[in-house]
Amino acid sequence: MKNVNVKAVVEPFFLNQHLCPNPPASFTEFVRETTDKGVKFVSSVDALDHFVKPTLCLIAGRTADNPSLFTKCVEKGATCIFLEKPGAPSVKELKQMESLAYGNSVRVYIGYNKNVTPYVKKALEFSKSVASGAQVVFQHNNSYKENELPECFERNAEGMLKNMAIHELALLVTFFGVTVDTIKEFKVLKGTTKLTLTGPSSGKSFTDFKEVAFEVTTTKGKSVTVRADRCGGNVSFASVQDAKGKEMMKFEFPDVDEQKKVDELTKADPEMMPYFFVQSDDYDELKTRVVNSCLEDKQAEGVATIKIAIEALKLAEYGTEKLMM
């Protein structure tokens, strides 16, 4: 990005000799090449100098670590923060982070890429153009194999609704006015699958979902359905259905041409989860909007704020409780 200077990278695992005595050669080479360009590599935010110029911090830690990382970035003088979803493990922590940011005049955005992804925009526009009673169904798929779910459950211990399906919940808040306070009915649909698996690293049991399916109806009569499947493949979609549930139009992502590109990239780098390639253009768009917002000192269009993130996280906690019943 031509209008950004990267000043530092904080990597608490690979740069910690106690946790990772032998970092992979690819990372070591990356550090060497990037250090030569003037980028500082450290294992902790504490090792950074106080920020003098306007500084954007991109925080992509594990959810449980994000509140602490967020606080340290604010204390170092961050003027803008791009925070990976869902931002924090709980609503309480996210509200505390919001207060801290507000008190220090820090603008905060959350990395909900589906807020800007083309297939969602097309589905929303089409649904508005058809007769009343049309409903949107969001299907979010990932391509984990069944035998990879124990590690997935352990690594994403905050749960499926706070991790994977949180993107759709952010869409519900942003575009459908869904909040915990506006829900009239939360209907659990057929296809919800709950599992208890043993984490390979900790040996602890984790109860979470392989699949979820639910329909939300608001007090204003708006209905929207969310489905998510960790083992559903690479293609997600938004389906617009009429009042009787008949599909009128389906918008897929990636589409045929995009899938060819993803297949080529996956073949070249088989250790990478395919959804990273699927979502990369969306994240580039998000980051471009956030950077421009910081430079122009104005709100980034269509990018989720921490207020939206709080409402989405409330929905995740509410929905998880309903689905666990």
Mean pLDDT of 101-114: 95
Report yes or no: 107 and 79 within 8 Å, Cβ to Cβ. yes
Phi, psi of 90 (to 5 degrees): -140, 160
> The tokens 């207060």 sit on which residue?
99
Question: Domain ends where: 80, 112, 144?
Answer: 112
Please give the angle made by the CA atoms of 269, 275 and 281, to the nearest 5 degrees.
95
User: What is the average pLDDT value for the chain, to the nearest integer?
Assistant: 94
pLDDT at 258 over 90: no
Phi, psi of 83 (to 5 degrees): -110, 130
74 within a domain of the structure (yes/no): yes
Report yes or no: 113 and 85 within 8 Å, Cβ to Cβ. no
- The DSSP letter of residue 201 is T
132 within a domain of the structure (yes/no): yes
Q: Give me 226's structure tokens.
A: 């969310």
Distances (CA, A) of 131 to 153, 155, 248: 41, 43, 11
Element (H, E) at 261: helix 256-268
Q: Predicted confidence band at 256 (pLDDT cuts at 50, 70, 90)?
A: confident
Report yes or no: 143 and 249 within 8 Å, Cβ to Cβ. no
Residues 213 and 154 in one domain: yes
Q: Give me 182's structure tokens.
A: 């506006």
Q: Predicted confidence band at 276 (pLDDT cuts at 50, 70, 90)?
A: confident
Range of the domain at 140: 114-275+306-324
Residues 206 and 320 in one domain: yes
Beta bridge partners of 201: none
Measured CA to CA, the distance from residue 33 to residue 39 in angstroms comes to 9
Report yes or no: 87 and 61 within 8 Å, Cβ to Cβ. no
Output the DSSP codes for 12-61.
TTTT-TTT-SS--HHHHHHHHHHHTTT-EEESSGGGSPPP-S--EEEE--
pTM: 0.88
Residue 139, helix vs strand vs coil: strand
255 within a domain of the structure (yes/no): yes
Number of domains in the chain: 2
Beta bridge partners of 188: 214
At residue 52, the pLDDT reads 94
Count of helices and strands (H, E) across the chain? 10, 12
The domain spanning residue 71 has which CATH number? 3.40.50.720
User: Residues 6 or more apart from 307 whose CB is under 8 A from it?
Assistant: 98
At residue 131, the pLDDT reads 72
Residues 131 and 248 in one domain: yes
297 within a domain of the structure (yes/no): no
Question: Domain ends where: 112, 138, 153?
Answer: 112
Q: How many residues does the chain have?
A: 325
289 within a domain of the structure (yes/no): no
Q: Give me 161's structure tokens.
A: 């609704």
Mean pLDDT of 289-316: 94
Mean pLDDT of 17-24: 94
Residues 119 and 30 in one domain: no
Q: Predicted confidence band at 9 (pLDDT cuts at 50, 70, 90)?
A: very high
